[in-house]
Amino acid sequence: MATSSIQTLGILGAGRIGRAIRDLATAAGLDVAMVGSKGDVAPVLTADAVVLAVPLGQYRNLPRLEGALVIDAMNYWWELDGHLAQFEDPTTSSSEVVARELTGARVVKALNHLSGYALEELARSPGDEERIAVAVAGDNDADIETVSALVDRIGFDPVVAGDLSAGVKFEPLTEAFGADADSAELIAILARFWDSQRGRVVGRARN
């Protein structure tokens, strides 16, 4: 795995997931800037990559991220976000909706499907037999590689799921979501997505 080219990480959202990712990245030697709903976003926006760790219902209230490498760690959770029809449409992954809103941003989906507990407690060094995996999806191979290297650096095996539309394979309601799986298991889980009930719903909608 190539060394991550991400040396500075910005995080939008200072809640459970933002803090967990901040701690992992800081422990891995990155410079991290994090901001909640109040505060100075400038240091976040100049970082090499920006993690979105806010409630998904806030996706239209984000700062301009044109040109930025954006890591979408958000999930649609209707109990929190309210019913948002655009995130209930099985023809698009939630990250595709986010990417359309963030004009010019290079969106990669990652770090969304592990629980807060897993992010806080289950990071391991490369080769550790208890190391678990994180799915990564995006439309640009170089950006996928960059984010995969970050995932590796903070303690997880990256597994490339495909383009941004393939993000649907590790959203809520899927087997991958919340699974503390190693890379071989996660590859198998993603591969059998289309045979799952959720996969059939998505497949029918997309055909």
Ligand X SMILES: NC(=O)c1ccc[n+]([C@@H]2O[C@H](COP(=O)([O-])OP(=O)(O)OC[C@H]3O[C@@H](n4cnc5c(N)ncnc54)[C@H](OP(=O)(O)O)[C@@H]3O)[C@@H](O)[C@H]2O)c1
Give whichever of 120 and 203 is closer to ligand X, judged by the CB atom.
Answer: 120
Beta bridge partners of 133: 157
> Shortest distance, CB of residue 4 to ligand X, whole angstroms?
20
No. of helices (H) and no. of strands (E), the chain? 8, 7
Give whichever of 115 and 203 is closer to ligand X, judged by the CB atom.
Answer: 115
- The DSSP letter of residue 127 is T
Give whichever of 118 and 203 is closer to ligand X, judged by the CB atom.
Answer: 118
> Shortest distance, CB of residue 204 to ligand X, whole angstroms?
26
> Shortest distance, CB of residue 40 to ligand X, whole angstroms?
11
In contact, 37 and 77? CB cutoff 8 Å: no
In contact, 47 and 23? CB cutoff 8 Å: no
In contact, 73 and 53? CB cutoff 8 Å: yes
In the bound state, the residue with its beta carbon closest to ligand X is 15
What is the Cα–Cα distance from 19 to 33, expressed in whole angstroms?
Answer: 11
Contacting residues toward ligand X, per CB under 6 A = 12-18, 36-38, 53-56, 58, 61, 73-75, 77, 112, 115-116
> Shortest distance, CB of residue 127 to ligand X, whole angstroms?
25
> Shortest distance, CB of residue 3 to ligand X, whole angstroms?
26
Cα dihedral 28, 186, 140, 104 in deg (nearest 10) = -70
